[in-house]
Structure 1
Amino acid sequence: MGTSPDFDRGAAITRSLLGYGVLAGPFYVVLGLVQALLRPGFDLTRHDLSLLVNGPWGWVQIGNLVLTGLMVIAAATGVGRALRGRPAGRWGARLIGGYGLGLIGAGVFVADPMHGFPAGTPDGPPAEATVHGLLHLVTAGLGFLSLVLAMVVLGTHFRRAGRTGWAWGSWVVGVAFLAGFGGLASGSSSPAVVLAFWVVLLLAWGWLAAVSVHLYRATPHPDGPRRAAVSQEA
Structure 2
Amino acid sequence: MNHHFWPARASARSGIRGAPHDPLRARARDRGADRCVRSLPHPERGLPSRRHGGVPPEQSDSAGTTSGILHLVFGAVGFLCLAVAAFAYSWWASPRGESGQARLGLWCGIVVVVGFVGGAALAQSAAGVTLLWLSVLAGLLWLALACAHLYTVVPHPLIAQRSPPRSPEPAVDVALGIAVGGSLPAPAPR
In the superposition, the TM-score normalised over structure 2's length comes to 0.48
* Higher RCO, Cα 8 Å, sep 6+: 1
More helix by share: 1
In the superposition, the TM-score normalised over structure 1's length comes to 0.40
* Higher radius of gyration, 1 or 2: 2
